[in-house]
Chain A
Amino acid sequence: MLVVLVAAVATLSLRGRPRARTAVSLAGGLGYVLAVAAIDWYVVLAPDAPGIATYQVGAHPAPFGITLVADGLSAFMLSMAAVVALASLVFSARFLPRYDRRTFYFPLFHFLLLGITGAFLTGDLFNLFVWFEVMLMASYVFVAFYGGARHTRAAFWYVALNLVASAIFLLGVGGLYATTGTLNMADLSMRLTDPAGYGIDPGPVVGLVGLLLSVFAIKAGLVPFQFWIPGAYSAAPPPIAAMLAGATKKVGIYAIVRLSFTVLAGADVPVDLGIVAGDSPLAFVGPLLFVLGAASVLVGGVGAVGRDSIEGVLAYSSIGQVGFIVIPVAVAATASSPDLRRIAVLAALVYALNHALAKGLLFLSVGAVRDAAGTSRFEDLGGFAGRAPALSIAFFVGALALVGIPPLSGFFGKFLVFDAVVRAGSAPTLAVLLGGSLLTIAYTTRAWNGCFWGPAPDVVENATVDPVEVAVLVALAALVVGVGVGFDPVYRFADVAATAALDAEGYVEAVAPGGEIA
């Protein structure tokens, strides 16, 4: 099975050379979705699914060989990325021809996808670093895509920030290797569970985990690492912004979840930092994520209300929404009972899915609006509802999903998040979440009024909306509704993913590190 996957990844990197790149690229996107569906089926959905599959690259055994691991969590994240990727690929195919000289767009898009795929599937920390870099290099170019003054500046800050982050990531990885003598995540988990048995002094692990967390938080755009997001998101072309918000950002979330629960959950490392104390690094991770998540919800929400263009609102809203994903993760990290932990991770995953779909939809709508009207500033826009009803409805559905109105996908995401927080019994967090939801209503309403309501200025009056772009939007909107209405299978998939995320022992067993070197 994973041979299929590796083949998909390999062709992904080779594709794009030919001139007929649009067609090839679309076929590749479709192939990618099929490959991901195959993985989903094989790993999770099939009646006799093993729940986890591993592939040792080059047949070198773990922990020294490179391991690819697909479990429920990876499969869930991959499916999410695949949906967003296919939508934005189709969208780009229509969007792109308006900008000539952009021969590198599709190959880079696939490299971005390749990096994301690799990050979801890799079984060791250093390869996670490498895949991050693959993903980031592609995204750097996209941020600088239009080549205007504003875009190069945004790209420069994005690059500079990520170079520093990469250096920190290396420090964390190197430190973990020095402390534990392994880079394989399963092996790491095994050794940290029983540090004495392996003759390891686990003391520095907590600090190193802090370093890694800060790196992942940068990727996920959590406060206080959020400052690059508005510039980068509004500088990138809308389909790429959809990818950045829908898939790249989720890699940061995935890494946090993976590191926290698969690697660290069983760790027997005493933590005592004065304020927090416990016998696992999670005791340190949990409160930290609480603070970061709550700050993100507030900063993102407040920031979004005051923007003057749709991209600005959406970029800030991304910061806020990531807070909604991270808070349940924090609940899970501090949870005492395994049941609550599972529910909280489940909530985070469902919300992440909702955010990927809804934000992808919204960013693509911005692309359509910009294509049609040539601007995305509120003061120049208005009255789109009359001109392009389908586009408006799609945007409206996305906005409602962000707010969390039933029966859309957002409702279940929000519901589960609140459920987890209520069960954890944390009143201040609940207050923050409620405040964040109110802010969401405020800024989506504002975006809606500014762009789609009111009198139509000339640019809108003369605008023609591309039918294929709208078709993509309507399809995504239908998916958002579909996920909400037919929530049951999605819930079961997310449940499998959450269980897999917490099943460190199963993960270790499947990867089977520590085998003899052939």
Chain B
Amino acid sequence: MTAFILAVVIGALFALGTFLVMRRDLVRVVWGLSIVSQAANVYLLAVGGVERGTFESVPVLAGHGEAAPETADPVVQALVLTAIVIGFGMTAFALVLSYRVYQEHGTLDVTKLGDRQ
């Protein structure tokens, strides 16, 4: 059940992100990008197993033998941490850049940007 809900959530996030990326407003595009990357993060977490992992399903735990406590896969969590940091930096940069675009062009409308040279 949890897995199903997660799948739906990830799908919805991707859909929302894609929708926003297609918008004409640059700030919305940035929001869309950030949502897409968050969706990828949630997806990564879901990959790690919604159910409690054991040493059989989680490779890292194999080295500790069967006595390992039940847990989700720590590798993906490490991956997600890295990805979140990177995504955070990127979003900040993209927002600053879109402000700069606004300063330079006086508009945030994608179609108007395209026409100018």
Taking Cβ atoms with an 8 Å cutoff, the residues of A that contact B are 64, 126, 129-130, 133, 137, 140, 144, 147-150, 152-153, 155-156, 159-160, 163-164, 166-168, 170-171, 173-175, 177-178, 181-183, 516-517
B33 an interface residue at 8 Å Cβ cutoff? yes
Which of B39, B90, B98 is within 8 Å of A156, CB to CB? B98
The complex places the Cα of A168 from the Cα of B36 at a distance, in Å, of 9
B60 an interface residue at 8 Å Cβ cutoff? yes
Query: For residue A63, which residue of chain B has the nearest CB?
Result: B59
The complex places the Cα of A463 from the Cα of B89 at a distance, in Å, of 42
Which of A153, A171, A183 is within 8 Å of B105, CB to CB? A153
Query: For residue B33, which residue of chain A has the nearest CB?
Result: A163
The complex places the Cα of A441 from the Cα of B100 at a distance, in Å, of 40
The complex places the Cα of A148 from the Cα of B117 at a distance, in Å, of 11
**Given A170-B40, A174-B44, A516-B63, are A144 and B33 also a contact pair (CB < 8 Å)?**
no
B82 an interface residue at 8 Å Cβ cutoff? yes
The complex places the Cα of A516 from the Cα of B59 at a distance, in Å, of 12
Residues of B within 8 A of A517 (CB): 60, 62-63
Query: For residue B18, which residue of chain A has the nearest CB?
Result: A164
B72 an interface residue at 8 Å Cβ cutoff? no
7 A–B pairs (Cβ distance < 8 Å), ordered by A: A64-B60, A130-B82, A133-B86, A147-B100, A149-B105, A150-B117, A517-B62
Residues of A within 8 A of B116 (CB): 149
Residues of B within 8 A of A64 (CB): 59-60, 75
The complex places the Cα of A507 from the Cα of B10 at a distance, in Å, of 36
Give the shortest distance, in Å, between A453 (CB) and chain B (any CB).
27
The complex places the Cα of A152 from the Cα of B33 at a distance, in Å, of 18
Query: For residue B83, which residue of chain A has the nearest CB?
Result: A170
Give the shortest distance, in Å, between A340 (CB) and chain B (any CB).
37
Residues of B within 8 A of A173 (CB): 79
The complex places the Cα of A133 from the Cα of B89 at a distance, in Å, of 10
A160 touches B47 (CB 8 A): no
Which of A126, A159, A170 is within 8 Å of B97, CB to CB? A159
The complex places the Cα of A150 from the Cα of B117 at a distance, in Å, of 7
A167 touches B105 (CB 8 A): no
**Given A126-B82, A164-B36, are A174 and B101 also a contact pair (CB < 8 Å)?**
no
Which of A163, A171, A174, A181 is within 8 Å of B59, CB to CB? A181
Query: For residue A158, which residue of chain B has the nearest CB?
Result: B97
B86 touches A144 (CB 8 A): no
Residues of A within 8 A of B97 (CB): 140, 144, 152, 155-156, 159
A159 touches B90 (CB 8 A): yes
A163 touches B36 (CB 8 A): yes
Give the shortest distance, in Å, between A8 (CB) and chain B (any CB).
23
The complex places the Cα of A178 from the Cα of B72 at a distance, in Å, of 13
**Given A153-B113, A167-B39, are A177 and B76 also a contact pair (CB < 8 Å)?**
yes
Give the shortest distance, in Å, between A230 (CB) and chain B (any CB).
13
A170 touches B44 (CB 8 A): yes
Residues of A within 8 A of B21 (CB): 160, 164
The complex places the Cα of A164 from the Cα of B17 at a distance, in Å, of 10
Tell me which of B36, B37, B40, B101 has the highest count of chain A C-beta atoms within 10 A of its own C-beta.
B40
Main secondary structure of the interface of B (DSSP, over half): helix
Query: For residue B103, which residue of chain A has the nearest CB?
Result: A152
List 8 tightest A-B contacts by C-beta distance, closest first: A517-B63, A149-B104, A170-B40, A178-B47, A167-B40, A163-B33, A174-B44, A174-B47
Residues of B within 8 A of A149 (CB): 104-105, 116
The complex places the Cα of A263 from the Cα of B104 at a distance, in Å, of 46
B93 an interface residue at 8 Å Cβ cutoff? yes
Give the shortest distance, in Å, between B75 (CB) and chain A (any CB).
7
Residue-wise interface mask of B (64-88) relative to A, using a CB-CB cutoff of 8 A (1 in contact, 0 not): 0000000000011001001100110
B6 an interface residue at 8 Å Cβ cutoff? no
B104 touches A156 (CB 8 A): no
A166 touches B47 (CB 8 A): no
A159 touches B47 (CB 8 A): no
The complex places the Cα of A175 from the Cα of B59 at a distance, in Å, of 15
Tell me which of B60, B97, B100, B113 has the highest count of chain A C-beta atoms within 10 A of its own C-beta.
B97
Give the shortest distance, in Å, between A186 (CB) and chain B (any CB).
15
Query: For residue B106, which residue of chain A has the nearest CB?
Result: A149
Residues of A within 8 A of B76 (CB): 174, 177
Residues of B within 8 A of A178 (CB): 47
A170 touches B59 (CB 8 A): no
B63 touches A174 (CB 8 A): no
**Given A164-B21, A174-B40, A177-B75, are A152 and B90 also a contact pair (CB < 8 Å)?**
no
B93 touches A137 (CB 8 A): yes
Give the shortest distance, in Å, between A176 (CB) and chain B (any CB).
10
B94 an interface residue at 8 Å Cβ cutoff? yes
Tell me which of A163, A164, A173 has the highest count of chain B C-beta atoms within 10 A of its own C-beta.
A163
The complex places the Cα of A181 from the Cα of B59 at a distance, in Å, of 7
The complex places the Cα of A167 from the Cα of B34 at a distance, in Å, of 9
A175 touches B47 (CB 8 A): yes
Query: For residue A181, which residue of chain B has the nearest CB?
Result: B59
Tell me which of A148, A170, A178 has the highest count of chain B C-beta atoms within 10 A of its own C-beta.
A170
The complex places the Cα of A232 from the Cα of B30 at a distance, in Å, of 19
Query: For residue A173, which residue of chain B has the nearest CB?
Result: B79
**Given A153-B101, A159-B94, are A174 and B79 also a contact pair (CB < 8 Å)?**
yes
Residues of B within 8 A of A137 (CB): 89-90, 93
The complex places the Cα of A419 from the Cα of B82 at a distance, in Å, of 44
The complex places the Cα of A166 from the Cα of B44 at a distance, in Å, of 13
Tell me which of A129, A133, A156, A183 has the highest count of chain B C-beta atoms within 10 A of its own C-beta.
A156
Give the shortest distance, in Å, between A215 (CB) and chain B (any CB).
12
Tell me which of A140, A160, A166, A167 has the highest count of chain B C-beta atoms within 10 A of its own C-beta.
A167
The complex places the Cα of A140 from the Cα of B92 at a distance, in Å, of 13
**Given A160-B21, A177-B75, are A166 and B43 also a contact pair (CB < 8 Å)?**
no
